[in-house]
Homo-oligomer: A and B are copies of this chain.
Amino acid sequence: MIRPICRHVSRQLASKRPSIPLPSLTNSLRTYSAGAAPSSLAPQPFKWEDPLALQTLLTEEELSIQETAESYCQERLLPRVLDAYRDENYDRAILTEMGSLGLLGSTITGHGCAGVSQVASGLITRAVERVDSGYRSGMSVQSSLVMGAISEHGTEEQKERFLSKMAKGESVGCFGLTEPNHGSDPGSMETVAVKQEGGGYKLSGSKTWITNSPISDVCLVWAKLDGVIRGFLVERERCPPGTLETPPIKHKTGLRASLTGMIHLDNAPVPEENMFPDVTGLRGPFSCLNSARYGIAWGVIGALEDCIARAREYSLDRKQFKGNPLAKYQLIQKKLADASTDAAYGLLAAYQLGKLKDEGKLAPEMISMVKRQNCDRALEGARKLQEVFGGNAVSDEYHVGRHVANLFVTQTYEGQSDIHALILGRAITGVQAFV
């Protein structure tokens, strides 16, 4: 059995290790750790799985959490992903499984959440996205966007009522911000909340590209109340038929292993106590998006690392011409070297964000920088590695084409790469260049 991460956190893990056979990657990462050989000062051999020795920076707890997450993802998620992606079909049970291991809302303290470090949370994200960005999206929405928002902006009563069930994966949440005509510009929001005479609100409007919406029990919807953006927890079971519709969006070109849908609200009722009490304006959704972006910064490197591992293996297995493996081609080696470098650098940057986040020192623009760069480089690297497979890349069984399609989406959502470039440009120059 894979051990829930709260067990690690509560320091009960000590000598005992998960009895399941770990995938080779995890084993290999493990041997690199400071913990494993604390006294040795001999130069570490270079390990292609961890070129700049991220593992030496992790705490014992983080290493254990990493093992749990990697084991779960490789053993339980990987076998499902090919069919899920082909059929655009997300298994609802995944959230329950993740919940049982403590992977949901993992950085939140209390309310049944594990309360791990930001770095540990990043390692979980990376493990999930090593399998598929869609699986990571489904988890991120639940954890960073909905649970994170409730934890940060909710009343104590809201936390009590929602967080524990969501942590277990018993209740599924989605995050309704983006509207059909305002992709990168949430300020033009059209969804409205109207206060009712007898108390409570009625919400009307449409949201699109909402991960998890078709299976959500609770939709965190951002809407304008008297012209001011507020956050509302719309519970499906309280909505009469026709007031809340969450149709899926199909035929996606990427992230097909996650569920995406719309939210149509037509006078959907929301009780008084389901509105966030204090937060107004875009500050509310934006702080959650920053947490989600932080997770993406880790996650996409996981996807890239999977591409590296698969391309490396393929290049060693595949013989050509005089019986030499593809790996002997300089042009192949350069692709591997470039991608490995970007992966290793990306991890160090994400790690630095995590430490700063835990210390309360993280500026949002730092997240823009690392989200953007890691997405860009992961996408570029995955594309280059896809070339290693030549014509065979067209077969989905090599997985790399799927990562490429997914990573393109990660580059465009939660702030398209160019938008983050302009955010950075503004931070650097003090001059605004949005049109």
Contacts and interface: CB of A to CB of B under 8 A. Distances in A.
Nearest to A418: B331
Interface string A423-435: 0111111111111
A241 B48 CA distance: 50
Interface in A379-435: 383, 386-387, 389-397, 401-402, 404-405, 408-409, 411-413, 416-418, 420-422, 424-435
Contact of A324 (B422, B428, B435): B435
A337 to B, nearest CB: 4
Interface residues of A, number: 112
A424 B335 CA distance: 10
A341 interface: yes
A276 B374 CA distance: 46
Contact of A320 (B52, B184, B319, B363): B184
A366 B424 contact: no
A41 interface: yes
A267 interface: no
Nearest to A181: B319
A107 to B, nearest CB: 16
Number of copies of this chain that the complex holds: 4
A150 interface: no
A51 B366 contact: yes
Contacts of A328: 431-433, 435
B330 A431 contact: no
Nearest to A315: B429
Contacts of A394: 209, 252-255, 260, 409, 412
Nearest to A417: B387
Contacts of A431: 316, 325, 327-328, 333
Interface in A323-353: 324-325, 327-334, 336-338, 340-341, 344-346, 348-349, 352-353
Contacts of A424: 51, 333, 336-337, 340-341
Among A183, A209, A308, A394, chain B packs the most CB atoms within 10 A around the CB of A394
Contacts of A13: none
Interface of A: 41-46, 48, 51-53, 56-57, 86, 178, 181-185, 187-188, 209, 249, 251-255, 260, 308, 312, 315-316, 318-322, 324-325, 327-334, 336-338, 340-341, 344-346, 348-349, 352-353, 356, 359-366, 369-370, 372-373, 383, 386-387, 389-397, 401-402, 404-405, 408-409, 411-413, 416-418, 420-422, 424-435
16 contacts: A41-B361, A43-B364, A44-B356, A48-B429, A52-B352, A52-B366, A52-B370, A53-B352, A53-B361, A178-B391, A187-B321, A253-B405, A254-B401, A255-B394, A336-B428, A391-B416
